[in-house]
Structure 1
């Protein structure tokens, strides 16, 4: 992963001119050194804040979640998993039992203690119930038992080297079981009670969420701010305008074109990040004609990736992707990079012709009939431009391409139901590769997040190795083998690894600099997920 902070430049236009010129967001003021408050613009919000019930894994949600909750485990600057709210996490020899000890003296925002019984109640009554959306993450957990006041033991049904990373996500964000029981799930999801540096103050859905300083936070000297207001500003241009006018103090973006915009702003510091997240098109490998690998390979060979990236904001900002791991990652596979079917329209036509003229073609049509693609994209202007680029490239080699503009909710629903052929999507993250790849390519019968429906014995074999050992060399070999196999099977196409940015007024210090309690540097702000406890206003 790659981080870069770009220093603010001096303002070259006066504030009065900016106020007059600003059409989307009016002049106002965010936080100041006097009131020690800030306003942060997010691209979206979640439906609630109860782990196990609400989806809390997108990057806008993580900005709020890391302020309200403390993860039991977190990732350090070197990519290693370390205890954070936990004091220790130790496995047995075969990785089927993990014993976790909590830090003493930690309390939830309601004053009740964080202890072993709280973890067990959370697991038994919220995380492991049939309706929990964390059952996939916890599918190998057979039980959680209390060992003593501050210690629990997780027993797994099979070895899992990635289990510490599970506890960095929502399954490892303790919340007050007392408050959840008293309020009920619906009310608690709207007013969460965690152990984090900020307490919940108010939430106006679709508009803004306010958090205030937790005066009893277990980490001395944190948080440094008194209040954070998270504003939902879904339109990229409006978010940029709000930052430029002073209505907000910081903002996130996961769009190439917006990264370019905020880099050009006067008196703004951008904190840029390129990680493993990459754009592409999700291919349903069980849906004819995409159930035939020749068709999927033809789609990939037809794509001019730099040209697509230029439509999205610039190939100079986003390195082309060939796999789940960007070139700076220790998991990056040189073999997969060489194996990936890069742009070759002649080869694309050859493979398409083989399928089109096959008397046993899987779509049931007669030899020579057109091969038709049904492609769903979201109605964002840059994404529509991208879709038209795909259309031109795929039709140039002989496909018939039908593009459908649908809302994000339709993409989400059809991914889950399997009722799609091609959906625009993003792939990859900074998680342990066992988690990422098992969730994406585990047995589709028991892995609801295997949206491509790819079922490949070789991939499963290497996944088993990856997830059952802590030997780094063996794990890297397993990831390399999986990446090569995916490059051969093409369960989805790639564009490029996504550049992201947190743009802020220069007085906001500490955005990249959170640390563990012992001073060990943390992993910064991956994919715009900021740890706001360490941020301060320094004039």
Structure 2
């Protein structure tokens, strides 16, 4: 080809490429190693981007990229490793923890990260009288026994010893303290950015941290765009210039987008599609460990669920094996306890309720409901890691409930509205679930079932179940630093919960996810929040 012909050919190619990109098509260089943009397809949008204000995984999987924590988890487990703190020590009595911070780290707005910044964040979260305490900060209350002035509050004081050293003084020892600090909810934000936004609205929409990616743009119900932090303290990372979280609510549509190359990786794969991924050389299957639970919460403050016999009857009328066979394609196991057996402290001796409709009818009669009752049954419509199709699961359960006289009307809302209503306790019974945050039993049993966490409007305990014996057991376990003693207490707690039946524990799901074959460095984390700094396209 002569020079003129070559120039003409290149011009036509560039024009075609520009047209494809302008029309929303994928850059043809994507996947060749030249693309520096990673598109992550997911089932729902984030609720907010201040991690201390959020409890939903869709929010935290984004904020994990933007705000770093004092300590972190290993890429594939909940073993604690250094984060913004490079080392730490605790006193013999477990009441004082001292953290030595990395030096030279800056927030995305150019301000320095230091001990005062850590103190500012914790004081903002813990003290309702702090001028920057604007919101509910649910996870802080869940993990540290409430807030300043509450009788169960663990945190006595957080102080800056010097510019690079922070001291935490506890009112009582806390076994999961270090694991708690590694949770995404306790990402350290820029004090200057927070001070510029005294009502806490802007920071929840455009957070400023020290993480590997900076916030760029949020198009509600469509996408969130992050850009590489060129000053990140881990040299050579992150590997991508840009990450886009793309919301595609329908699982099948998201899978189609992956196959067509419009997205690079996805969660919420329909379990039945996992075999299709394995058979496609252009794709790769990823399995996220099942540190989760999907459950039916029975609101114990509302009739007829104030009676344990009614709650036990619904457990007896639940065909967990049928649910797993119908909707999980084998990627789940029946839940016996509120926490999965991959978390230490699981009680292997607990006997599950059998699937027995006749026994269920007998218990309803004993409770004073021989003819059953009418009830609203909340079911989520967006796919969740522990519940790929909540509405279909609810319809399946609805049929068995009808056989024992319970007429369940299925009620649905968009995910944010659903969370809001359930967190306020507006439901009678609701499908819900949880992905463990830190690998500690406390994160399941205390957060989800202790009376301390029935606080609205964002209750962790959405069964609104209160049992003083359980509370005493969980607090003893929380305040112990001896894992054997804690294990014994958590096993006792699981026995109490099984008898009282505030839930129907349904499944622990091993979550199938998928990516293009060229994606490297993606390790699905048990907590559901992956740090994407090592992910790249091609070698």
**SS of residue matched to 2:367:** helix
- Normalising by the residue count of structure 2, what TM-score does the alignment of the two structures yield? 0.84
- In the TM superposition, what is the alpha-carbon distance from 1:345 to its structure 2 partner? 2.0
Pick the aligned partner of 1:326 from 337, 340, 354: 340
After TM superposition, list the pairs within 5 Å mapping 1:391-470 onto structure 2.
Answer: 391-431=398-438, 432-444=440-452, 447=455, 448-470=459-481
Pick the aligned partner of 1:386 from 390, 393, 412: 393
- In the TM superposition, what is the alpha-carbon distance from 1:111 to its structure 2 partner? 2.2
- Partner residue of 1:520? none
Pick the aligned partner of 1:166 from 174, 180, 187: 180
- Partner residue of 1:506? 517
Partners of 1:471 and 1:255 lie apart in 2 by 41
**SS of residue matched to 1:480:** helix
- Partner residue of 2:373? 371
Partners of 2:207 and 2:441 lie apart in 1 by 30
After TM superposition, list the pairs within 5 Å mapping 1:81-480 onto structure 2.
Answer: 81-125=80-124, 128-129=127-128, 130-134=133-137, 135-136=140-141, 137-138=143-144, 139=146, 140=153, 141-182=155-196, 185-253=200-268, 256-257=271-272, 259=274, 262-263=277-278, 265-314=280-329, 316-336=330-350, 339-356=351-368, 368-379=370-381, 382-431=389-438, 432-444=440-452, 447=455, 448-480=459-491
- Partner residue of 1:74? 72
Partners of 2:269 and 2:59 lie apart in 1 by 14
Deviations 1:433-455 (A, max 9, x none): 22332222222586442221211
- In the TM superposition, what is the alpha-carbon distance from 1:463 to its structure 2 partner? 0.4
- Structure 1 pair 200/417, CA: closer, same or farther in 2 (3 Å)? closer
Partners of 1:446 and 1:313 lie apart in 2 by 31
- Partner residue of 1:517? none
- Structure 1 pair 488/494, CA: closer, same or farther in 2 (3 Å)? same
- Normalising by the residue count of structure 1, what TM-score does the alignment of the two structures yield? 0.84
- Structure 1 pair 422/257, CA: closer, same or farther in 2 (3 Å)? farther
Partners of 1:51 and 1:404 lie apart in 2 by 29
Partners of 1:410 and 1:202 lie apart in 2 by 23
- In the TM superposition, what is the alpha-carbon distance from 1:528 to its structure 2 partner? 4.2
- Structure 1 pair 379/81, CA: closer, same or farther in 2 (3 Å)? closer
The question of whether the paired residues in 2 share the 8 Å contact of 1:73 and 1:85 is answered with yes
Q: CA RMSD in A?
A: 2.6
The question of whether the paired residues in 1 share the 8 Å contact of 2:297 and 2:463 is answered with yes
- In the TM superposition, what is the alpha-carbon distance from 1:324 to its structure 2 partner? 2.7
After TM superposition, list the pairs within 5 Å mapping 1:8-19 onto structure 2.
Answer: none
Deviations 1:38-67 (A, max 9, x none): 211122222432244x41x43332332222
- Structure 1 pair 176/374, CA: closer, same or farther in 2 (3 Å)? same
- Structure 1 pair 88/234, CA: closer, same or farther in 2 (3 Å)? same
Partners of 1:173 and 1:46 lie apart in 2 by 16
After TM superposition, list the pairs within 5 Å mapping 1:18-37 onto structure 2.
Answer: 28-29=26-27, 30=30, 32-37=32-37
Moved more, 27-36 or 246-255: 27-36
- In the TM superposition, what is the alpha-carbon distance from 1:255 to its structure 2 partner? 5.3
Deviations 1:329-374 (A, max 9, x none): 33322112xx2212122221221221136xxxxxxxxxx5533333
- In the TM superposition, what is the alpha-carbon distance from 1:242 to its structure 2 partner? 0.8
- Structure 1 pair 202/383, CA: closer, same or farther in 2 (3 Å)? closer
**SS of residue matched to 2:349:** helix
Deviations 1:179-228 (A, max 9, x none): 33235533333332211111223332222222222111111221112221
- In the TM superposition, what is the alpha-carbon distance from 1:31 to its structure 2 partner? 5.5
Moved more, 422-431 or 475-484: 422-431
- Structure 1 pair 446/320, CA: closer, same or farther in 2 (3 Å)? closer
Deviations 1:115-139 (A, max 9, x none): 1111122233456345443241343
Partners of 1:71 and 1:397 lie apart in 2 by 49
Partners of 2:341 and 2:123 lie apart in 1 by 41
- Structure 1 pair 460/189, CA: closer, same or farther in 2 (3 Å)? closer
**SS of residue matched to 1:253:** coil
In structure 1, the gaps of 5 or more residues are 1-24, 358-367, 513-523
Deviations 1:476-521 (A, max 9, x none): 1122111222111111112211232331111111112xxxxxxxxx
- In the TM superposition, what is the alpha-carbon distance from 1:172 to its structure 2 partner? 2.7
Moved more, 87-96 or 501-510: 87-96
- Structure 1 pair 428/487, CA: closer, same or farther in 2 (3 Å)? farther
**SS of residue matched to 1:526:** coil
In structure 2, the gaps of 5 or more residues are 1-22, 147-152, 383-387
- Structure 1 pair 168/305, CA: closer, same or farther in 2 (3 Å)? same
Partners of 2:193 and 2:465 lie apart in 1 by 42
The question of whether the paired residues in 1 share the 8 Å contact of 2:211 and 2:229 is answered with yes
Pick the aligned partner of 1:59 from 45, 57, 60: 57
